[in-house]
Every structure is written in structure tokens, then in C-alpha cells.
Structure 1
Amino acid sequence: MCGEPSFLFEINAPVPSPNVLAPLLIKPEQMQEIRDAFEEAGVVSQSDRKALIESVIMGEVESLRELKSVDARRILQRIKGLHSRKPTSTGSAWDNREDDTWIDKL
């Protein structure tokens, strides 16, 4: 046993390093960015906002302050995806066509 480190009372035990990869909490700027994105996308109902956030983080949340910084980025991407969707078309396929046909070029 001579020459082996003694950890009986943790005198010479290696000190575990703190977890430097722990997720950071959301910043106030990110919270405001999420609120602004919701407004721009037209999502005004608190229940709709909460449902969208919970669908992204796959869990329940009571406040934006509970979110992690990485969650904020994913939430913003989802909100911006809602805003950039094409509006539902009304009318016939002919009315909703994007390109001109030979008839249009006459």
C-alpha cells in the first residue's frame, strides 16, 4: 500500500472541477427579444405563447425567467418560423399560381 494515494478521509483526493458547461440562464435582452418576436408574429394570447414555449423546451414553464439561454434561441427560431410561413391561399389553384403561364404572356 506504500506509494498509493490515500483517500480514506479525502485528504489527498482530487477536487472535482465545477461544471463549466452548465447551461446559462436566459438574459433580460433575450426575454425582450422573445416578447418582441411574439408581437411581430401576432401571438398575443399568453396561453398560446406558453404552449409554444413548452412545445419547444418539451416541459412546463411558468415564467420566461426559468428558461436557459439555449432555450431562448430555439424559441426564437420557432416564432420566426411561424411569422415567415406563407399565408393560407384562398381561391383556386389558377388564382394562386406563382408563375405566369403562356396565356399570361399573350
Structure 2
Amino acid sequence: MTYEESGLFDLAAAAPTSPVVEEIPISPEQIASIRNAFDNAGIASMAERQEVIQSCVIRKISNIRELYSRDVRQVLTRIEGWGRTQAAASGSAWDNREEDTWIDKL
């Protein structure tokens, strides 16, 4: 075999294709679940709500309707942990533990 002959790996170069990912907008049910989560967590101010949402996504969000369906799970997880991290600032890690240990059950 010479260098001029076609070899085993001389395939025609195909045009690179990038997968088209269509972003699904947030649904009204998802908006309601985020708002309920904010209410349950006691996050009432719009500035704090926007801070929580903005901490989950990379792009700038000015309205909850700009979120995508794929963002909702991250936002709900952050809301759930938001109150715990804020309240855990006082006391020691032992005082702020959530579950009882065997010592507590004695």
C-alpha cells in the first residue's frame, strides 16, 4: 500500500453537525411550584427571590417566565436549602444537626 492509495481510515469528511437543543419554556405548573416553595421557605422579598434564582442559572434572569423547564429542579433544590444555610449560621454544627444521634435517643 502506498501513500497515494486510499486506506482503511480515509473516509469522506462529513460536515460537523451540532445537536439542536430546543429549550422548553417553564410551564405554569412549574411557576406555581416555585412560588409555593418560596412561600414555604419564607422567602418573600423579590430581591431575595431573584438572588436565589440567579444563583442557579448562568444567564441573566429578570422574570421567572424566562426560566427554562430544565432549570426548575435546580431552583427548587436551592430554595429548599436556602433557609437551612441561612439558619445554620448560629450555633455549632452539633447544635444545628437535623437528625438525632444515638446520644439524643438515650
Give the distance between the partners of 2:77 and 2:36, measured in 1 at CA.
13
Match of 1:38 in 2: 38
Task: Give the RMSD, CA atoms, in angstroms.
Answer: 3.1
Distance between the aligned counterparts of 1:25 and 1:42, measured in 2? 26
In the comparison of the two structures, how many residue pairs are matched? 82
- TM-score, normalised via structure 2 length: 0.62
- 2:51 maps to what in 1? 51
Say whether 1:27 aligns with 2:17.
Answer: no
In 2, distance between residues paired with 1:86 and 1:57? Answer: 20
Structure with greater Cα Rg: 1
* Structure 2 residue aligned with 1:73: 73
Q: Report percent identity of matched pairs.
A: 32
Change (3 A) 1:50 1:87: closer
Distance 1:66 1:87 in 2: 30
The answer for unaligned runs of 5 or more in structure 2 is 1-19
Q: Report the Cα distance in structure 1 between the residues aligned to 2:40 and 2:58, rounded to whole angstroms.
A: 24
Large movers: runs of 4+ above 3 Å: 83-91, 96-99
Q: Distance in 2 between matches of 1:64 and 1:34?
A: 9
Aligned partners of 1:23 and 1:56: how far apart in 2? 16
TM value normalised by structure 1: 0.62
